[in-house]
Amino acid sequence: MMPPAQPLAQPSPAAEGVAVLDDPLEQGRFTRWVAGPGGERWAESSLQLAGLHCAACSGIIEQALGRVAGVHMARVSAAAERATVCWDPDLTRPSALIAAVRRAGYDAVPDAAAPARALRLQLQRQALWRLFVAGFCAMQVMMFATPSYVAAAGELSDEMRRLLNWGAWMLTLPVMAFSATPYFAGAWRALRTRTIGMDVPVALGIAITFIASTGATFEPDGIFGHEVYFDSLTMFVTFLLGARWLELRSRQHAAETLERALARLPETAWRVAADGGVSAVSVQRLHVGDQVRVPLGQAFPADGVLEQGDTQADESLLTGESAPVPKRMGDSVVAGSSNVGAPVLVRVLRVGGDTRLETIVSMMRSALTQRPAAARVADRWAAPFLWAVLLLAAGAAAVWSVIDPSRAVWVAVSVLIVTCPCALSLAAPATLVAAARGLARRGVLLQRLDAIEVLATAQHIFLDKTGTLTEDRLQCSAVLLTPGAVAQGYTEASVQALAASLASWSTHPASRAVADLQPGQTDSGDWQQVHEVPGQGLGAQDAEGRAWRLGQAHWAGAQAPLPDDAQAPLRADAQAPLRAGAQAPLPADAQAPLPADARLVLSCDGRLLAGFVLEEVLRPGAEQAVQALQRDGVTLRLVTGDTAERARQLADRVGIVNVLAAATPEAKLAALIELQRQGHKVVMVGDGVNDAPVLARADASLAMGQGALVSRCHADAVITSSRLLDLVSARRTAQRALDIVRQNFIWAGTYNAVCIPLALVGWLPPWAAGLGMALSSLLVVANALRAGR
Amino acid sequence: MESLYVLIPLSALLVLAILGVFGWAVHKGQFEDIEAEGQRILTDEAPAVDADQDP
């Protein structure tokens, strides 16, 4: 536990969220304990910084942190935008560190991912070193090998040849003992679990080549002949490690981007004590029975029941339902949904793992472990390839031991060497890595390379609605004026201006849609006594004392005894024959009864003036993306937790036929499993927590960049731009990558088909075998790089 | 040609030495932020200059 700290300045209300960091529970996420020079206990915290624009900023932040009493050392990396601070727990607290950074004009949040990053850094350094050792030795070995390629017969003395071979052997040792160890370790792991991955033929090929060349070096007249292959061997290992290093880099890049998104202040809840005082506490400190205050715009910290106040909850991330759900006193609210109506008091009923949010998350975890195993392209080929090669080599040795026993071993070894699986083991990974880099440039971050294969071949795509096909905001598509309003001299423009200025007082999604009718308007009008009634609308008085209301038809329209002239339009309102404004023709579907919350009306002193038709905003390019995918023969299915009516309406707008509406996460998962059972591969594109189980179980999954963290973390790829057209281009890139993989395989097959018979009859000159191997690797890598363009 | 009997083992040793130096540089983190080094000349802060390079 933290020792009692010395009295510190009372945090300002704005800093309340930061104060939660002083809770030891939260501190543990980004702080580790180290021993100071005198053996005292110091804390070392990692912070993620924001607002740095030049290298000099790091010095400013270091100084600001250093001035905090109790800070022993502060180190800032401008490139990584991170700070490491060593501080004395007796003298200061994490919140004081963040306050100091903020005073200096920057921002900081705890960096919980520091240990993972340290591990990644170590992996990356190790991989780079392995690659360098292999590459550098390969160059030097090539130099030693050049004389035997260029010398005419008899020009190179035997001693000199042995000396050069010895030098090459010497420099191949580090490659074998250090650089190639991942392949030997991988092969050993595969053999122990009785599976054959691509590492097995690679390790076998490397080992055989090395043993044969070593034999030839030290005993030129022995069974292995006098030809050495050190140059081909080291070059092959270098290529393999190069591809592996690039793969590591792109995977780590994806992880880092995610981490940046994950770094944030801890979730804070405002707990109301028995005496009525409110204190900010970590969400993890909440207990069942606590009373918490939930301000407008914040997420409910736990499952609970409304104790005071009426509000609306936006549960779209959890259920996919796009419209805010009205909540009255006594209604239950769900952790993770956000409070969009009014500030309320909530009594906590369930915390942590018991909440609905956590239940969905654990469902996703179990779905993740049950996803159909996608065998990697190369691994599928590894076992047949290995057996074929071994059989051929054994057969050749058997035949030659009858014809000419002295050449039997030599021929078997040369078969194993020419069939070295270079093209096979490089073809897939190099291409997939290149494709992943190309995708990253277009805003699609891949977290699992295997997803490329599924993405290219899958014929079924599940699309979520809210947040994926649509943005999570509403848009006012039409303004309809009543005859009464027109008679009073209102025009569409004046009504729009009035409504927008009134709506700008509220943050409710519907109000924002109306306020957006006059974008950029900063004048909030001459309104007085503006009040918001949760679930109903906004009321206010203008300068002349007239009462205006903007909200639900039954509330805003029917408040007061209505003047006679308002009766007709009001009654008519239910059937929607409002007179359309000249510029806003009635949309075709306006004849159908609209969902009650998809329309607002504006009234003055109880007289209805205008109606506003609201609809969800399609993401830019959604229609084109859907059409492009359907042209490619993909079956699209809209899966959503929203009502059937709204889902149908939207599906018609973009042109999707197949709709699964009002679906719980369980129902979505069931639909997916049903398709998978029929043998189809399914790609899921989603954003919300409710999509997470489906994302986890799908053969390949893509999450929207603006989606919930849990779905972004576990999807195979994240569309950071949130543009649906990127899905189409990602699919094209994936298909092209798969084509290139196939080309590489065809090349490898042709190469082996030509060389193996030659080696079998003992006609393949060793220099040609080595050259063929090297050229084959080069060709495969060069072809693979095309996938990234 | 006899000199090769010394030079080839020597070059092999030299390669091993270079590998050692490179390993040290990698683990000191010298290759982690390659882009930033190129931009350092653009920052206001005077770059650190060795004493013997001082004008």
- Chunked into runs of 10 residues, chain A (789 residues) has average pLDDT values of 38 56 76 79 83 70 86 78 84 86 82 74 89 94 89 83 91 94 87 76 84 88 79 85 77 67 66 81 81 81 85 73 78 81 85 69 60 57 79 87 77 72 69 79 77 87 85 78 79 82 76 76 68 77 83 66 36 35 34 45 81 82 89 89 82 87 85 90 84 84 77 78 85 90 84 83 69 74 80
Residue from A506, A510, A509 nearest A527 by CA:
A506
Same domain, A462 and A476: no
Chain A residues near residue B15 by CB distance under 8 angstroms = 136-137, 140, 171
Same domain, A485 and A581: yes
Q: What is the pLDDT of residue A590?
A: 34
**For A163, which of B4, B33, B40 is closest by C-beta distance?**
B4
CB-count exposure of residue A210 (10 Å: 0-12, 13-18, 19+): buried
Instruction: Say how many domains are in chain A.
Output: 4
Q: Is residue A222 part of a domain?
A: no
Question: What separation, in Å, do the N-terminal and C-terminal C-alpha atoms of chain A show?
Answer: 54
Distance from CA of A124 to the nearest CA of B (A): 9
> A271 with A282: CB under 8 angstroms?
no
d(C-alpha A361, C-alpha A689), whole Å: 8
Q: What is the pLDDT of residue A586?
A: 34
Structure tokens at A149: 């390629």
Distance from CA of A541 to the nearest CA of B (A): 56
Chain B residues near residue A136 by CB distance under 8 angstroms = 15, 18-19, 22
Distance from CA of A443 to the nearest CA of B (A): 21
Q: What is the 3-state secondary structure (H, E, C) of A115-140?
A: HHHHHHHHHHHHHHHHHHHHHHHHHH
> A743 with A725: CB under 8 angstroms?
no
8 Å CB contact of B8 and A167: yes
8 Å CB contact of B12 and A128: no
d(C-alpha A580, C-alpha A577), whole Å: 8
Q: What is the pLDDT of residue A128?
A: 92
Chain A residues near residue B35 by CB distance under 8 angstroms = 79
Q: Is residue A235 part of a domain?
A: no
* Cβ–Cβ contact A78 with B under 8 A: yes
Q: What is the pLDDT of residue A515?
A: 80
d(C-alpha A701, C-alpha A696), whole Å: 7
* Cβ–Cβ contact B15 with A under 8 A: yes
The 10 Å Cβ neighbour count of residue B12 is 20
Q: What is the pLDDT of residue A98?
A: 86
Q: What is the pTM of this model?
A: 0.63
* Cβ–Cβ contact B44 with A under 8 A: yes
Same domain, A477 and A440: no
Domain C-terminal end among A618, A642, A676 = A618
Q: Is residue A760 part of a domain?
A: no
Q: Is residue A398 part of a domain?
A: no
Same domain, A529 and A613: yes
CB-count exposure of residue A184 (10 Å: 0-12, 13-18, 19+): middle
- What is the extent of the structural domain holding A25? 13-112
Q: Is residue A669 part of a domain?
A: yes
> A740 with A787: CB under 8 angstroms?
yes
Q: Is residue A740 part of a domain?
A: no
8 Å CB contact of A160 and B1: yes
Same domain, A632 and A669: yes
The 8-class DSSP code of residue A27 comes to H
In A667-783, which ranges are E strands? Answer: 682-686, 700-704, 717-719
Taking the domains of chain B in order of start, what are their residue ranges? 1-25
Same domain, A327 and A355: yes
Same domain, A476 and A568: yes
Return residues 391-430 of A near B (CB < 8 Å): none
Long-range contacts of A172-177 (CB under 8 A, 24+ apart): A172/A137, A172/A141, A172/A210, A172/A213, A172/A230, A172/A233, A172/A234, A174/A133, A174/A137, A174/B16, A174/B19, A175/A133, A175/A134, A175/A137, A175/A138, A175/A233, A175/A234, A175/A237, A176/A206, A176/A210
Domain C-terminal end among A307, A328, A360 = A360
Q: Is residue A141 part of a domain?
A: no
Domain C-terminal end among A112, A140, A156 = A112
* Cβ–Cβ contact A129 with B under 8 A: yes
**For A171, which of B15, B39, B45 is closest by C-beta distance?**
B15
Q: What is the pLDDT of residue A263?
A: 58
The 10 Å Cβ neighbour count of residue B53 is 6
d(C-alpha A202, C-alpha A187), whole Å: 8
**For A129, which of B5, B26, B40 is closest by C-beta distance?**
B26
Distance from CA of A61 to the nearest CA of B (A): 15
**For A170, which of B12, B27, B29 is closest by C-beta distance?**
B12
Q: What is the pLDDT of residue A228?
A: 84
Same domain, A611 and A686: no
CATH number where A107 lies? 3.30.70.100
> A28 with A21: CB under 8 angstroms?
no
8 Å CB contact of A55 and B39: yes
Q: What is the pLDDT of residue A7?
A: 37
d(C-alpha A125, C-alpha B17), whole Å: 18
CATH number where A669 lies? 3.40.50.1000
Same domain, A456 and A487: no
Which residues partner with A603 through β-bridges? A549, A608
Could you tell me which chain B residue has the CA closest to the CA of A159? Answer: B5
Q: What is the pLDDT of residue A597?
A: 41
Q: What is the pLDDT of residue A246?
A: 76
Q: Is residue A196 part of a domain?
A: no
Residue from A338, A344, A302 nearest A318 by CA:
A338
8 Å CB contact of B4 and A160: yes
Same domain, A670 and A724: yes
**For A55, which of B4, B8, B43 is closest by C-beta distance?**
B43
Q: What is the pLDDT of residue A303?
A: 86
> A152 with A175: CB under 8 angstroms?
no
- Per this entry, what is the length of chain A? 789
Same domain, A462 and A529: no
Same domain, A634 and A711: yes
